[in-house]
Structure 1
Amino acid sequence: MNIYYLIIDILQVIYRQGHLSARCSIASVFWLVKRS
């Protein structure tokens, strides 16, 4: 599992959808990183 690809996908979502969903996405990334 490559975290970098996941981060890139989430960054694309941030630019498309805006700040509210971006915060949720970033929180999800940190949660996944801590879990692994």
Structure 2
Amino acid sequence: MPQEIVILECTEARALGKPVSRYMTTRNKKSPRTPNRL
């Protein structure tokens, strides 16, 4: 089953002038409407 890599980025930290936190995860391409949970 094909998967794609998704990068999540915290935009609130950027607004406060702090370093941005990034998280990588994968999701199934067949169900793009299913939300990923950390």
Task: Please say whether Structure 1 and Structure 2 have the same fold, judged by a TM-score greater than 0.5.
Answer: no
Q: Which has the higher helix share?
A: 1
Where relative contact order (Cα < 8 A, 6+ residues apart) is larger, the structure is 2
Q: Which has the higher strand share?
A: 2
